[in-house]
Every structure is written in C-alpha cells, then in structure tokens.
Structure 1
Amino acid sequence: MTVEEKLGQLQQLAWSWDTGPGGGETKDVEDAARAGRLGSVLSIFGAKSSNALQRIAVEESRLGIPLLFGLDVIHGFWTTFPIPLAQAASFDPDVTRTDAEVSAKEARSNGVHWTFSPMMDVTHEPRWGRVAESCGEDPYLTAEFAAAKVEGYQGPGKGEFTAKDRVAACAKHFVAYGGAEGGRDYNTVDVSESRLRNLYLPPFKAALDAGAATVMASFNTVGGSPRTATPTP
C-alpha cells in the first residue's frame, strides 16, 4: 500500500446529510472510493446505493478493499423504540437489548455494517442538548445498559458482528462528554481523576468487556486536553 492508500483507509466521508466531510457530495465519495482513498462512509443505506458504491471500491480501486458503511442507528432503524433516556427509566437492560437486536437486523438488511451507538455519556446536566440520547446520571445503570446494547447489536458473549443480522457497535463518546460546562455541547470539561474514573469511565469498561468493536472519541477537552489528540483518559 502507498502512504496515500494507508491514509485513505482512515478517511470517512458522508454520503448524505451534512453530518461530516463531503456530506451530500456523492461524486466526491465515489471518486475517493475509486482512488482507494476511502475506508468508511457515513449515512449511506439501502441496497441500491450501498451495493453500487461497494462495487466501485472492490472492482475499480487498485487494492479492492471493501468499504465499511456506518449510520447513526440510535433507537431503531425502521422500527422506532423509545429514546435511550426513556429506555433507561425502565431499569430493564433487556429493553435496550431488544431494541439493538431488532435495529441490527433491520440496518444490516439495508447495507449498514456499523452503528454509532451506544452513547454512554453520564450526565447530571438537563440543559445539555444530548441528554435524551444518554441513560442519565447513574454510572452503574449506564454501564448495564451499555453492555446490553452492545450484545444486542453484535450478539451475546462478544458475538460475531459480521453475521448477516448483526452490526458493529461503537461506544461513545470517550470521555466525559456529558460533563460539558453549562450544558453547552462541545464545551470544556474539568473533572478530577476520581470523578473521571468513578463516574465517566465505568460504562466504557462495561461496553468493551461486552466486546464493543469500536470507540468514538468525544468532541470536548478534559483538563484542557482535546480528547481527539491525547492517548490518556
């Protein structure tokens, strides 16, 4: 592989919607796949679009490496389940496990390999705009639901997420994203080591112990250090 091809495998472009680089510019995505400068694609689903783009990557690029298709499948794909905060209010992890199992089957049948879920950001801030996607303020409850959702997406016992009715899970957002000051999204977070390890990190351990395939970095700083640019918690 050339250096350009190696870097290309790290690049993700958006097929539709303005949620990432290249959003809506489908020709640019196709050109990147053809040139071997693309590893994954956000917000693409449906047999027609996903199969056509996959053929370009496999049949027209020099190395023929298949693409990974990801989508935010948060509380349902075609079937809509209650928001994660409402599911957590049930105090029953089987609720979120069922959501993930059904969502995985529906998403995978539409060409999706990878979901950006579960979100396991513990938060005490009701003004935060993403609180509805969280399980609330308790790290134990969040950890239990995180593990259940990973198992639902990928299969029990660190299941094989390449199966035709499974998708890869993504534990997000690492870490302390729910502690943004003033409830302002992407804002700075300043926490002690004790609070970080006892409040924000346990759900991630639970998700990884359950076999979560991937982890998404958070968009905030912690103690002045960007989460996307540091190897330490």
Structure 2
Amino acid sequence: MKKVVTAIFVCAAAISLNAQQSKDPKMDTFITNLMGKMTLEEKVGQLNLPSEGDIVTGLGKNSNIGEKIKLGQVGGMFNIKGVEKIRAIQRIAVEQSRMKIPMLFGMDVIHGYETVFPIPLGIASTWDMDAIERSARIAAIEASADGINWTFSPMVDIARDPRWGRVSEGSGEDPFLGGQIAKAMIRGYQGKDNTFSSNTNILACVKHFALYGAAEGGRDYNTVDMSRNRGSSR
C-alpha cells in the first residue's frame, strides 16, 4: 500500500507547482530521482485513470490497456474488481513497464464492498457516527484485501432536489450532518492516524466537484447557478 501511494504522490508532485515538501528527506530524494528519470509522457500517463473490467460507469471499456501500461501511459485503473485481475494488471506495471511504478486501483466503494450497508442517504438517517465509521472501516478492510487502494467516497454534495438521481449517494440536506459523516467515513477508510500505516487503509476521495449536487432541474451534469444574485434571492 505504501509503495502504491508513494507512486501516485510522485505523479501529483510532477503536476503541482505548489506541492509541499515531504517531512521525510529520503522520500524527497527518491521522488526527485524518479522524476528525473521519467519522460513527460510517463508523468502525464501516471495521471491517466481508465475504466476497465466488471464495473463500468460513464465511458465504455477501454482497449489495449496492457500495452498502454507497458508504455507508461496508465497510472491506475478504475472499477476493476477481483484480486486475480488486479494482480495480473499490477504485474504488467511492475515487471514490464520501464519505470516499474505500481498501479493505483480505485473503485466506487460507497456503501460497502463485499458486506453491503445501507445507501449513504439511509445510513445518514442513523446519526450514529461510530456505526458509520465502522461501516467504512469494514469496507476498507474488504476492498484492500482485493487490492483496491482508493475509494470515490464520501460524497458531500448537499442535494435538495429529489429529482436528481444521485441524492442517494449523499447524506441529505444538512451541511453539518454531511460534514460529520464525511469525517467519520474518512477515518474509517484511511485510519484514525491518517498515515496509511496499515495495509487495510485505503485512500478516501471527497466528492463531487464544487456545486455538482445543485444541478438545475435535477438533471445530472446540468447547469448550476450559485452566483451572488441567485444566493441572495433565497
């Protein structure tokens, strides 16, 4: 887990001009040396997260994934499930690519992995932060055992239009409740110390991008107006 997280942080550092310095001098040296060996195409490739496998959301399946991984054009895979499949793809990255950087595997683990919990909207109605944190911890343990490193959860959109089909992924209409649940889930996924000291911890991803849940007419990816004029009229 540490090696995979390190590899992705290396790529993020290549893009961010304001990346903070690591507290570990050895890590800084390792990253600097690795970045110096990578081509521009390989650096950009580490930010490529195609979807392939059993669970597909959005665009259809991608082709020639194995060849792209060998060429350093892929940094991770999204929504592929199964330890054998993940192991096979990881072997290509660490044995056949030039830089041998481990892949990062992400998935929409939003209310359990093998053990299925109530949808986020349902579990939010409990107001039980300990239970919510435990559900995320169980999901992290199960997902990490399959090789999943990263979950696209929790969703913190404040959705107030029931016509929007993704209301079920969030924690309701109250910002305070949503914030408390997000903190509990992140602790469950990443561990209380947030250092990824355990192989059972996975990366959390607070989603979605700003104001996505306020789409007009409840239509996914529709226009959002959250201007000062609109806000002052409410």
TM-score by shorter chain over 0.5: yes
Change (3 A) 1:23 1:68: same
* CA shift digits 1:86-114 (9 cap, x unpaired): 11111122222111000000000011000
Matched, 1:6 2:43: yes
What amino acid maps onto 2:75 in structure 1? G
Could you tell me how far 1:45 is from its partner in structure 2? 2.6
Taking the aligned partners of 1:23 and 1:182, their CA distance within structure 2 comes to: 30
Out of 199, 203, 216, which is 1:168 matched to?
Answer: 203
Q: Which runs of 5+ in 2 are unaligned?
A: 1-37
* CA shift digits 1:58-104 (9 cap, x unpaired): 11111111100001101000100011001111112222211100000
Change (3 A) 1:80 1:18: closer
In structure 2, what is the equivalent of residue 23 of structure 1? 61
In structure 2, what is the equivalent of residue 137 of structure 1? 173
Change (3 A) 1:39 1:191: same
Change (3 A) 1:152 1:140: same
Could you tell me how far 1:123 is from its partner in structure 2? 1.1
1:24-39 superposed matches below 5 A? 25=63, 28-39=64-75
Residues paired across the two proteins, number? 193
Out of 184, 191, 204, which is 2:226 matched to?
Answer: 191
Taking the aligned partners of 2:83 and 2:92, their CA distance within structure 1 comes to: 14
* CA shift digits 1:33-52 (9 cap, x unpaired): 11111111011232211111
Among all aligned residue pairs of Structure 1 and Structure 2, give the percentage whose two residues are the same amino acid. Answer: 49
Query: TM-score of the superposition, structure 2-length normalised?
Result: 0.78
What amino acid maps onto 1:3 in structure 2? L
Could you tell me how far 1:170 is from its partner in structure 2? 0.3
Question: Higher helix share goes to which structure?
Answer: 2
Question: Higher strand share goes to which structure?
Answer: 1
For the residue of structure 2 that corresponds to 1:171, the secondary structure is coil
Taking the aligned partners of 1:189 and 1:149, their CA distance within structure 2 comes to: 27
Taking the aligned partners of 1:24 and 1:82, their CA distance within structure 2 comes to: 31
- 8 A contact 1:43–1:71 mirrored in 2: yes
* CA shift digits 1:113-169 (9 cap, x unpaired): 000100110011111100011101000000000010000000114x22362111100
In structure 1, what is the equivalent of residue 18 of structure 2? none
Change (3 A) 1:21 1:68: farther
What amino acid maps onto 1:190 in structure 2? D
Matched, 1:179 2:217: no
